[in-house]
Amino acid sequence: MGRWARAKGTANRMNQASVGSLELVARFHEVRQASLSHCRPLSIEDHSLQAEAFTSPPKWHLAHTTWFFETFILVPFLNGYEQENPAYEMLFNSYYNGIGEQFPRPKRALLSRPSLEEIHHYRSTVEAAILQLLADDAHPAREDIHARVRLGIEHECQHQELFFTDIKYSLSINPLSPAYSAAAAPKSSEGATAPLVWSVVDGGLVSIGHDGAGFCFDNEQPRHPVYIAPFELAQRLVTNGEYEQFIADGGYQRPELWLADGWATLQRENWAAPLYWRGSEEYTLEGLVSRNPQSPVTHISGYEAEAYARWAGARLPTEQEWEVAASMAEPAGTHAVRLHPKPAGSAEQGLQQLDDACWQWTRSAYVPYPGFSPAEGAIGEYNGKFMSNQWVLRGGSCVSSPRHLRPSYRNFFYPGDRWQFTGLRLARDSAQDPS
């Protein structure tokens, strides 16, 4: 293992690598350092928090993203590579049956060993070996290696978002309502909420899916034609204040507004409001704050989003409608990770909050596109086996990686899930009176 640690010196030889290799190395460093930066506000104890089975401890995220690089890149491509610890193959395997056994997800908080220090050493060792591999421009599998490193980078970006949502949920259970960071607590805004304005989108035969420029996940392809009828899409997300009206009108007591499974879930889970609402306050990553009525409602399930849309006399968009509208919108500018979504601006700005506030539920089931074929081997399991019983979300959230903000990106969760930054944007058929 020590010889791989010594491979850190290979970074000094990168002047012999291609420009593509240099860019990939820079991106690799950037993402790996970002994961560590996100963890800096945490205590040692925080690193092992796991409040529910659907969350994972921060320490596990740090290890699993490293395991991905080791398992799918170093083991098959770096001649003579020796695993840091063979037991890690089981401890930090998430769900890849093609790799082998997995430690039970609900019990990840019990992994007090390896220590956080050992996890950091594991990350450093694997990073050094990845740099050695990237420095070898003569490697016969160079293209495959680069493709998998890019995939590993994007995979770690996904886990950085999960880090924020998981630690938020775990900290929220504490009666002290501790803040992950109090650096920029959200402030209530003055003034009225921007009126709900509808954008009209013409129907017809359109193409959706990734257009082939830059990285994408396999579930964004192949690009294919679909027919959509003319429709209207709200220019902003539904706000806390608007959702309060839904609650005040008995939204959680009216079964006619809910899908059957949603109503059953509401009763079983005793839902009466979005996940982090506490009276007139809301739990955030900055702690417990006064709820801003102008901010987009978030941490709602697909069932809640669908019920609200029905109550409002509208509906959720399909994922195809959402992508068509987003593809025609003006870019919103530079995305910066924030710890809470901010209110929308004026209606004159057109479609807003497409990818920087909350993931937006659609009415579309998560199914493969026509002609989709998962990658061969264990690495293809991610999308190949999860395309069932889930709904598609589009856009992005305040804690999403800027790398994942593209119209074709397909997120997916079970319709009862609420711990992600999930909100809703209304849609309706264009035949409705726009007034």
- The 10 Å CB-count burial string (b at 16+, else e) for 375-412 is eeebbebbbbeeeeebbbbbbbbbbbbebbbbbbbbbb
State the pairing for strand pair 422-423/359-365: parallel
Would you state the pLDDT for residue 403? Answer: 83
**What token pair was written down for 429?**
């058929």
Token duo for residue 171: 């900290």
According to DSSP H, which parts of 103-181 are helical? 116-134, 142-172
The candidate with the shortest Cα–Cα distance to 132, out of 5, 243, 238, 233, is 5
How far apart are the C-alpha atoms of 401 and 412, rounded to whole Å?
16
pLDDT along the chain (435 residues), means of 10: 39 48 94 97 97 97 98 96 95 92 96 97 98 94 96 97 98 97 60 84 95 89 96 98 98 98 98 98 96 97 98 98 93 77 85 96 96 84 80 97 91 97 97 51
Rounded to 5 degrees, what are φ and ψ at 133? -65, -40
Please say whether the beta carbons of 401 and 356 come within 8 A: no
Joined together, the tokens standing for residue 195 give 């009126």
Strands (E), 250-341: 277-278, 281-284, 287-290
Q: Where are the beta strands (DSSP E) in 322-410?
A: 359-365, 391-394
Rounded CA-CA distance 239/298 in Å is: 9
Spatial distance between the Cα atoms of 269 and 263, rounded to a whole number of angstroms: 10
Predicted local confidence at residue 332, as pLDDT: 65
Q: Do residues 320 and 259 touch, judged by C-beta distance below 8 A?
A: no
Choose among 297, 312, 271: nearest CA to 360: 297
**Rounded to whole angstroms, how far apart are CA atoms 292 and 147?**
43
Buried b (16+ CB within 10 A) or exposed e, 18-51: eeebeebbeebeebbebbeebbeebeeebbbbbb
